[in-house]
Structure 1
Amino acid sequence: MKLKAALLASVLTLAVALPALAQTPLPDPLDDRSAKRLERMEKVVRELRSIVFQGRDTGKPVVVQPAETDAQIAAMSDKLNDLEQTLTRLNGQNETLTHDLDQARRAGEAQKTRADALDQRLAALEKKVADQEAAAAAAVPPPPPPPSASADPAQAFKQARQLLLDGDYGAAEQAFAGYVDAYPDSAKTPEARYWLGETQFVREAYGDAAGSYLGAVRGWPQTSWAPDAVLKLSRSLVALRKPADACKTLDELARRYPKAPSAVTAKAATTRAQAKCAA
């Protein structure tokens, strides 16, 4: 009650003093500081009057709170809420990044494991291939040595021919090449060149085959194998993309060997068409 009486006395004093202040001559115009002070005083009077009326009407003690405290607390509460939301968002982003990093680490470890496994498989395959190559090299018999000059030429030719009949073209090629080198002046050397050309033609070594066939038909021998040698020479030239030379060879075939077997003449016609020879 004492507080109530003191507040009431203050209000009455201010109420009496305000008219007097209002009648006191003020500087004209009021400066900014005087106006602001007056506004503050009026605000205080209004607050005091509200406090007095509240105590009178309710009969309860009046609690005086500093002005604008609620607004400041509310502002601080809003800032705190904003900070909490920001912290929550950052924690969520951090958890997402941590999860992504864990997945990337696990993926990297899996890739490394697969790479190591592939390296091991590649090493095993390389070793297997090397072992197979070594075994194949050991299994291949060495080629027969070329016949020496002191050997029987007829026997050497017969051996080379048998290799050809057996389908061992690699060994037959070496045997006929050795015969040609060992017996360049033998009567069987042109035929050996022909069979040498056959082994080379089979493996599509057309340049080597053309040279062997050309050496075989030098002088245009009248033998059973000569027309076929000329035909194979023309076919080798077609394969070597020398159609003009092939056409000249086919013309010589028709002129030199008019009674060539029908199989030879039929293949010659086909080869002439491939070379686009003039009719």
Structure 2
Amino acid sequence: MIRALVLSSLIAAAALPVAAQNAETLADLRAELMRLAQDLQSLRGELVAGGQSAMQAAGGTGALDRMNAMEAEIVRLTARTEELQNRVDRVVADGTNRIGDLEFRICELEDGCDVSNMPITGMLGGAAGGGGAAVAPAAPSVPEAPASNGGTPELAISEQADFDRAKAALDGGEYQAAADGFAAFANAYPGSPLTGNAHFLRGEAMAGLGDTSGAARAYLDAFSGAPDGPMAPAALFRLGAALGLLGQVQEACVTLGEVPRRFPNAPEAAEATSTMQTLGCQ
């Protein structure tokens, strides 16, 4: 059960972008296979209706054998796509359940968090260690906001200003104001290209306040919202480190182990490995 809790964030990283894309691709593939099967049946009907002359023109009785072989292969491929689709569906369902479990566990660690009022986790795609305490890592750099040109989404009129205001509060050590500002930003602009940064920086502000469980939730939001985004390595690393600080060592070890596996070239990969050694991860 405990291992399942931390695996939720990792399942989300894999399932969120991939499951939706694969579902569409597999659906398209099945449709193409059905069309191909229909064309093959139509061709066989024309060949049989054409009589001996048509059969000879197609290469003799071997033509029907080849058609039968192709039809059998189409049936095999169709079954395979259905199998893959079922597998994707299971990953999505399992990932959704696991990330819900982790959110519930973090809520239990937060003061004032009412588990009975937690929102239902949205469907993805529609994503043993020893003792010791984790060492709080240095804050990673945050990518600049995307420019409103070059095909990137343009920001709302007050969007950049609201983000900059919260960022200035964080830079000035006003952690509560920064946490409130980034939370308000994420609620006001859920589809913003800056929302992932806002979740991550809210985690930094919560960490500055000493609210490790709140920081863990914010890092989880940052990672699960964009598991392949520019902040994903840092968010996953900080989530693992926060779990270690909360005493959830086994979950922390599994989470931190995913950083070098998923992002081997990121600076956080080495930091995660070092933190795992501090935690005594096996």
**Shorter-normalised TM-score: what interval?**
0.3 to 0.5
Whichever of the two has the greater Rg, that structure is 1
Higher relative contact order (CA 8 A, sep 6+): 2
TM-score (norm 2): 0.42
User: What TM-score does the superposition give when structure 1 sets the normalisation length?
Assistant: 0.42
